[in-house]
Amino acid sequence: MTEMAEPPAGDLRLVNLTRTFGSVTAVDGLSLTVARGSYFALLGASGCGKTTTLRMIAGLEEPTSGRVLLGDRDVTRLRPYKRPVNTVFQSYALFPHLDVFENVAFGLRRRGIRHDDEVPRMLSLVQLDGFGHRRPAQLSGGQQQRVALARALINRPQVLLLDEPLGALDGQLRRRMQIELKRIQTEVGVTFVHVTHDQEEAMTMADTVAVMNAGRIEQLGTPAGSYEFPATAYVANFLGQSNLLAGDADGRSGDHVAVTAHGARFSVPVGRSRADRGPVHLGVRPEKMHLVDTRDQVPGGCQHVTGTITDTSYVGVSTRYLLRTGWGSELTVFVANNGAHDPLPQGGEAVAYWHPRHAFLLPREPGRHDRVNPLFDEPVSVGS
C-alpha cells in the first residue's frame, strides 16, 4: 500500500479563460487568482457562467481558450482524474449500494491507499462518528452532504470545488451547513471554490466573492467591501438590495461630488464615488435609510426624499416600507423593529433620509439593464 502524498502548494489561477458554445459566450476572458487556503465564492444568477467556470477548473469542460494553473503547474489539458481537484455536487452523487464508510473510502481504494484510520478521521471531521455502516438512504439531506464532503476531502485535493452544494437543503439546515462548511474549510486548510446564486450564502462563508454577470466578473473583493461599495449597479442589486436614483454628477466640490437628480441636489463623498461627472446612479441601501413624518425631523447633515408609503411588510427584525416618490419611482426602506418608533401608516406621506457617508455613486450606462429581479433572475430597468 502507498501513503497519501501532500498535494502541490500554490494558488489557483485562471488566465483569460473563455468558453463558447456556438455563438454563445458562456465565459468571456476570465482572469482571477484564488489564494491558497482561502474560501472563494463565485456568485451570480443562472446562466452567468459560474458553473461552466467550475467545470473548466475540474476538467469536465474544455476551455475554448485560456489556461487553468495550480501553483506553477498548467493543468488546462489534464484529464479530471489527474488534477489535484475534487468536486462536491448539489446532488451529492453518493453510491446507494455502498455504506457510508465505503462511500468515503471509494477514492482511496481506487488508488490503492490504506484507509483504515483515514475514513474514521474524516467522518469525525464532518461530525458523522458512528454512521459508517449506514446506507445513504438512511441519512438526512444534510448528512448525505457531509458524506459527499468527506469523500472529496479524504483525497486531500489542492482545491475543492462546490457546485451549489446546499441547494437541495431547506432554509434552517442550509444555514447550519453554511457554518459547518466554513468550520471544516478552516480546519483542513484546503482551498474551497464555492459556486452559488445565493448572495447570503456567499457572504456568510467566503473570504472573497466574485460577482459574475454575462461571463465576466463585475466585482471581486471581500463580502463587506463589495456590499458597502459596489462597483456596478448590477452588483448593487444582486448583492443585496439598493435604491438607485438616476442623476447627473456635476463634478467635485471639496471632498464631495455634487449630484442633481429629479430636480433635487445631493452629494456623495469622493471616496464613495466611482464617477464625478456625467450620468450616474446615486445608491443607498434600504437599511441605511430612515423614515420620519415630516422634513423638520430630518437631522442636520442628512439628505432626504419625500413620498407616499404604498406598502408595508413586517419581516420580523424589520418592517419594509415602499415609498413612491414625486417622480414615480419606489424606494425601499428597512426600519428596525426595535420598539423605538410607531409604525407609519400605508397611504400617508413620509420622508426618507440618509447620511451622505452611507451613499455611493456609480456611473450610469444609458439603456443598460442593471438590476436583477431576485424572484425570476430577469433584468429590469432601474432609476429612470
Range name among 67-81, 338-352, 370-384 with the lowest pLDDT average: 370-384
Helices and strands per DSSP (H, E), number in the chain: 8, 22
pLDDT at 89: 85
Statement: residue 112 has pLDDT above 80? no
CA 40, 43, 48, 51 dihedral sign is positive
Which residues are CB-neighbours of 149 under 8 A, at least 6 positions away?
Answer: 88, 126, 165, 181, 184
- What is the CATH number assigned to the segment(s) 12-225? 3.40.50.300
**Residues present in the chain in total:** 384
pTM of the prediction?
0.87
d(CA 359, CA 288): 8
Whether the Cβ atoms of residue 210 and residue 32 lie closer than 8 Å to each other: yes
Residue boundaries of the structural domains of the chain: 12-225, 241-363
pLDDT at 10: 76
Q: In whole angstroms, how far apart are CA 94 and each of 51, 151, 161, 284?
A: 20, 9, 16, 45
Q: Which CATH class is domain 241-363?
A: mainly beta
d(CA 18, CA 67): 9
Statement: residue 179 has pLDDT above 50? yes
Statement: residue 206 has pLDDT above 60? yes
Q: What is the pLDDT of residues 367-376, one digit of tens each?
A: 554 443 333 3
pLDDT at 295: 94
pLDDT at 369: 45
Neighbours of 145 (CB within 10 A): 26
Backbone φ and ψ for 134, nearest 5 degrees, come out as -85, 155
**Mean pLDDT on 140-146:** 88
pLDDT at 365: 79
Which residues are CB-neighbours of 18 under 8 A, at least 6 positions away?
Answer: 25, 27, 28, 29, 30, 63, 64, 65, 66
Whether the Cβ atoms of residue 358 and residue 364 lie closer than 8 Å to each other: no
Strand pairing class (256-261; 243-253): antiparallel
Whether the Cβ atoms of residue 103 and residue 136 lie closer than 8 Å to each other: yes
Backbone φ and ψ for 232, nearest 5 degrees, come out as -140, 165
Task: Tell which residue, 216, 180, 184, 178, has the closest CA to residue 198.
Answer: 178
Task: Tell which residue, 194, 176, 173, has the closest CA to residue 185.
Answer: 194
Give the containing element (helix H, strand E) for 188.
Answer: helix 171-188
Whether the Cβ atoms of residue 255 and residue 267 lie closer than 8 Å to each other: no
pLDDT at 322: 97
**Mean pLDDT on 342-360:** 95
Whether the Cβ atoms of residue 382 and residue 244 lie closer than 8 Å to each other: yes
Grouping H, G, I as helix, E, B as strand and the rest as coil, residue 94 is coil
Which residues are CB-neighbours of 304 under 8 A, at least 6 positions away?
Answer: 295, 298, 351, 352, 353, 354
Identify the residue with better confidence: 123 or 8.
123
**Mean pLDDT on 19-40:** 96
Cα 55 from chain centroid (whole Å): 18
Q: In whole angstroms, how far apart are CA 191 and each of 188, 201, 340, 383?
A: 9, 17, 45, 40
User: In the numeric block, which cell numbers belong to residue 116?
Assistant: 483504515
Task: Tell which residue, 45, 348, 14, has the closest CA to residue 202.
Answer: 45
Average pLDDT of the residues of the chain: 89
- 148, amino acid identity: A
For the chain, state the CA radius of gyration: 24
User: In the numeric block, which cell numbers belong to residue 245?
Assistant: 436614483
Per-residue DSSP letters for 291-346? EESSGGGSPTT-EEEEEEEEEEEE-SSEEEEEEEETTS-EEEEEEE-SSSSPPPPT
Q: What is the pLDDT of residues 229-261, one digit of tens each?
A: 999 999 999 999 999 999 999 999 999 999 999
